[in-house]
């Protein structure tokens, strides 16, 4: 079921012009802050969303990043360039990629190909003085290590029960109940991801606040659906399914379980080609071990 977080607001960044694909969360107390910031291609939309709420980029004091993939952190450097007082809070593993994003960009370009600039836009480094590696808590938010989608992934849990889960709790777009795991290469780790789902459940959040896309209160059922689909998909890949067959099965699932207006949003938020590549890399590395 869709809901609202209690101390924040979901901003739709209209990625590539499509609603309910990429969102970020605005926290206005104790100081204006964002959880994730989206890609550089969405910075104009972000500025407009802030302006509608009486804020400018220069009013932001903190940026909390769940992870450094470009759909979540791509415009961090541009935000700091526009607001040199902005502090970027990111996991210790992810921090070097904010300061020098060259390896991250190179990896993403291999996945996205010629579409990179159109999809994600400019990549601007964050000055080291603006980066704050995360510890157990930050400004009243509890920090949960949630690797699996990426080894540097974290989630944030507020005192009133909002869990800003990034990609660790999957993709779900209201009013659909379908939960799918976005699993791009290079460092998907299914065992770690399952443990992260357990860690989120143990934190007993009242709501899951997803970047893709929305706020949901049926936490236990949502996490169980996420777990089941992750296991189902990795077994498909382990069983030797081809990329085309995997994509066809995913498309059929979307057509079966999701209202037509949401099919394209699901496909954009978690492209089957990227997920297949990430899960295949995981299976091959697991077999080598």
What's the average model confidence in pLDDT over 235-245?
A: 93
97-112 pLDDT, tens digit each: 999 999 888 888 888 8
What's the average model confidence in pLDDT over 107-126?
A: 88
Averaged confidence pLDDT in the chain: 93
Q: Where are the domains of the chain?
A: 2-288
Q: What percent of the chain clears pLDDT 90, i.e. is strictly above it? A: 83
Beta bridge pairs of residue 171: 180
| Predicted local confidence at residue 113, as pLDDT | 82
Specify the range with the lowest mean pLDDT, choosing from 4-18, 93-107, 226-240. Answer: 4-18
The CATH number of domain 2-288, selected from 3.30.360.10, 3.60.15.10, 3.40.190.10, 3.90.550.10: 3.60.15.10
Helix residue ranges, H only, 113-202: 116-119, 190-202
Contact assessment for residue 190 and residue 280, using Cβ atoms and an 8 Å cutoff:
no
List, in sequence order, every beta strand (DSSP E) within 13-153.
23-27, 33-35, 62-64, 87-90, 131-133, 137-138, 141-145
Residues 140/142/147/151 CA torsion (nearest 10 deg): 40
Q: Computed from CA positions of residues 75, 79, 80, 86, in that sequence, does the dihedral angle turn out positive or negative?
A: negative
Which tokens sit at 87?
Answer: 């502090």
198-220 pLDDT, tens digit each: 999 999 999 999 999 999 999 99
CA–CA gap between residue 261 and residue 131 (Å, rounded): 39
| Predicted local confidence at residue 233, as pLDDT | 94
CA–CA gap between residue 52 and residue 210 (Å, rounded): 22
| Predicted local confidence at residue 1, as pLDDT | 47
* Phi, psi (degrees; rounded to nearest 5) at 214: 130, 180
29-86 pLDDT, tens digit each: 788 999 999 999 999 999 999 999 999 999 999 999 999 999 999 999 999 999 999 9
Beta bridge pairs of residue 89: 64, 132
The set of long-range contacts for 139-142, using a CB threshold of 8 Å and a minimum separation of 24, is: 139/30, 139/31, 139/33, 139/62, 140/30, 141/64, 142/203
| Predicted local confidence at residue 204, as pLDDT | 96
User: How many other CB atoms sit within 10 Å of the CB of residue 17?
Assistant: 7
166-186 pLDDT, tens digit each: 999 999 998 999 999 999 988
């Amino acid at each position: 079921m869709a809901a609202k977080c209690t101390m924040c607001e979901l901003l739709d960044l209209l990625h590539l012009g499509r609603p309910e694909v990429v969102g970020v969360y605005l926290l206005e107390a104790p100081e204006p802050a964002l959880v994730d910031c989206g890609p550089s291609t969405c910075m104009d939309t972000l500025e407009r969303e802030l302006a509608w709420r009486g804020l400018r980029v220069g009013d932001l004091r903190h940026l909390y990043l769940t992870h450094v993939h470009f759909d979540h952190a791509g415009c961090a450097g541009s935000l700091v360039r526009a607001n040199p007082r902005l502090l970027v809070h990111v996991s210790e593993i992810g921090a070097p990629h904010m300061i020098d994003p060259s390896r991250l960009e190179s990896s993403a370009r291999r996945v996205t190909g010629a579409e990179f600039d159109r999809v994600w836009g400019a990549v601007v480094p964050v000055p080291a003085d603006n980066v704050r590696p995360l510890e157990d808590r930050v400004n009243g938010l509890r920090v949960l290590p949630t690797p699996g989608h990426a080894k540097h992934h974290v989630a944030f849990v507020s005192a009133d029960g909002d869990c800003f889960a990034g990609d660790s709790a999957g993709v779900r777009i209201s009013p659909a109940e379908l939960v799918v795991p976005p699993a791009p290469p290079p460092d998907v780790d299914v065992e770690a991801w399952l443990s992260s789902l357990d860690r989120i459940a143990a934190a007993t959040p009242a709501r899951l606040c997803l970047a893709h896309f929305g706020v949901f209160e049926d936490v236990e059922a949502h996490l169980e659906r996420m777990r089941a689909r992750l296991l189902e998909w990795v077994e498909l890949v382990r069983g030797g399914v081809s990329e085309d067959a995997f994509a066809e099965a995913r498309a059929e699932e979307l057509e079966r379980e999701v209202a037509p207006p949401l099919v394209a949003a699901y496909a954009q938020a978690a492209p089957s080609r990227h997920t297949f590549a990430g899960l295949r890399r995981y299976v091959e590395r697991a077999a080598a071990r």
